[in-house]
Amino acid sequence: MKKKIGLLTSGSDLPGLNAAIRAIGKSARAKDIEIIGFQDGFYGLVHDQYTSIEKSQLSGILTTGGTILGTSRDTPQQMSGNNKISDKTEEAIKTYRKHNLSALVCLGGKETQESAYNLSKNGLNIITLPKAIDNHLPMTDTSVGFDTAMEVAAEAIDRLHSTAHSHHRIIIVEIMGNNSGWLTLGAGIAGGADVILIPEIPYEVDKVAEAIAQRNKDNKRFSIIAVAEGASPKDYHEFHERLRQNNERLRDGDDRRKVSHQLDELENRNLMDNAALLDNRLSALTGLDTRITILGYLLRGGVPSALDRLLATQLGTACVSMICKDQFGVMASVQQNSIVPVPLEQVAGKIKQVPADHPWLLSARSVGTCMGD
């Protein structure tokens, strides 16, 4: 029986998704495998909105950003509609069965991996590809989109050096990364940031101010601070840790989950103000003019780098090979320059953070970069 696979891109868009779609499509066609693409991520799977991926659609998309299939943050477990959130896992399964799919390929980040694992546990043949500009997915050395985003962030830091130097300012560059600091650390080192603040290392504002004051004494009258959006002051971090520990003492499980959710919302709201808080406190402590630049969605757009195109092509072709070998319930992972299948249970619900002894971090410290601790 001829194989038929479904493909979707879920979560945030980023450079390299179209390169992966192209690789999967061309490789599948070469093996006489039919392929359809679900539109707007899991929303299209649930609502059976799809398109047949023809040869003509795969032409000219290697270098384009975004995704020709569209995407959304909806997941089968939490699908929005009619002003409410519903579990539509059964509808997703029905669509899969209706099309007699041999496998479903999901390109996405943390939430996508969790949703894919859920579908896999429900008996579907699932393979995922890792994509994340902040490189926070576990069990893979890198993810599609990370290299491009790091290049864009490093170039932004390069460009900000001239205005910081000319006006003798502190410039705070906020870079995406709620839970992990790979993107900020890599871009900060490459761009020569004087201070790098990441979620893995709660920082002390006084230490940052001291580092800037020392630069002024050395007649370096400007400073560039690369800060991940999830980086937080040490006192703020300790406060939230105490709240969470107190929450764990609640006897009722439902109450504990409710309070935990409220704490997550509070923390996320506060994280949005971290750059402004850092700006105000550094201005007061140093007396220097301070400015904030938030890169935000600039990091997700544009042409993918050569490395991301290469990575997406490798992952896409390896994915089709895994389907031909009936390897399912896995993520196509990059490990020591090879593409290997990793069980989704080892990926779902987990975050890869920067370890304290990582060579990037050690190098940053060695060249005198302040990490805020």
Q: How many CB atoms lie within 10 A of CB 18?
A: 24
Q: What's the chain's average pLDDT?
A: 91
Residues 235 and 263 in one domain: yes
CATH number at residue 176: 3.40.50.460
**Sign of the C-alpha dihedral computed for residues 131, 134, 137 and 139 taken in this order:** positive
Q: Are residues 293 and 214 both part of a single domain? A: yes
Distance, in Å, from the CA atom of 24 to the CA atom of 9, rounded to the nearest integer, reads 12
Predicted pLDDT at 254 = 53
**Do 340 and 204 belong together in one domain?**
no
Q: Classify residue 356: in a domain, yes or no.
A: no
pLDDT grade for 251, boundaries at 50, 70 and 90: low
| Contact indicator for 229, 302 with CB cutoff of 8 Å | no
Q: Does residue 362 belong to any structural domain of this protein?
A: no
Structure tokens at 294: 């938030």
The CATH number of residue 16's host domain is 3.40.50.450
Which tokens go with 111? 């939430």
Tell whether 48 is covered by a domain. Answer: yes
Q: Is residue 351 included in any domain, yes or no?
A: no
Per-residue pLDDT, averaged over 13-18, amounts to 96
Q: Are residues 176 and 127 in the same domain?
A: no
| 56 and 122 assigned to the same domain | yes
Write the secondary structure of the chain as one string of H (helix), E (strand) and C (coil): CCCEEEEEECCCCCCCHHHHHHHHHHHHHHCCCEEEEECCCHHHHHHCCEEECCHHHHCCCCCCCCCCCCCCCCECCEEEECCEEECCHHHHHHHHHHCCCCEEEEEECHHHHHHHHHHHHCCCCEEEEEECCCCCCCCCCCCECHHHHHHHHHHHHHHHHHHHHHHCCEEEEEECCCCCCHHHHHHHHHHCCCEEECCCCCECHHHHHHHHHHHHHCCCCCEEEEEECCCCEHHHHHHHHHHHHHHHCCCCHHHHHHHHHHHHHHHHHHHCCHHHHHHHHHHHHHCCCEEEEECHHHHHCCCCCHHHHHHHHHHHHHHHHHHHCCCCCEEEEEECCEEEEEEHHHCCCCCCCCCCCCHHHHHHHHCCCECCC
Residue showing tokens 């072709």: 317
Q: Which two tokens stand for residue 301?
A: 């757009």
Chain segment 49-107, per-residue pLDDT in tens: 999 998 889 999 999 999 999 999 999 999 887 788 899 999 999 999 999 999 999 99
Same domain, 194 and 249: yes
User: 230 and 128, same structural domain?
Assistant: no
7 forms beta bridges with: 37, 105
Residues 92 and 140 in one domain: yes
Active site residues per annotation: 134
Contacts of 127 (CB under 8 A, 6+ apart): 103, 104, 105, 106, 319, 322, 323, 327, 328, 330, 331, 332, 341
The 10 Å Cβ neighbour count of residue 32 is: 8
366 is a domain residue: no
Range of the domain at 174: 150-300
Statement: residue 259 has pLDDT above 70: no
Residues 243 and 313 in one domain: no
Residue 244, pLDDT score: 58
Answer yes or no: do 102 and 189 share one domain: no
Q: Looking at the structure, tell me whether residues 156 and 293 fall in a common domain.
A: yes
Flag whether 191 is in a domain.
Answer: yes
How much of the chain, in percent, has pLDDT values that exceed 70? 90
Is the pLDDT at 211 greater than 80? The verdict is yes
pLDDT at 272 over 70: no
Average pLDDT (363-368) is: 97
Closest CA to 290 of 222, 219, 204: 222
Q: Are residues 293 and 157 in the same domain?
A: yes
CA atoms within 13 A on the CB side of 290: 20
Q: What is the pLDDT of residues 149-203, one digit of tens each?
A: 999 999 999 999 999 988 889 999 999 999 999 999 999 999 999 999 999 999 9
- Kindly report, residue by residue over 308-323, the tens digit of the pLDDT: 999 999 999 999 999 9
Angle at 29 between CA 23 and CA 31, to 5 degrees: 105
In DSSP terms, 128 is beta-bridged to 106, 331
Count of structural domains within the chain: 2
* pTM of this structure: 0.90
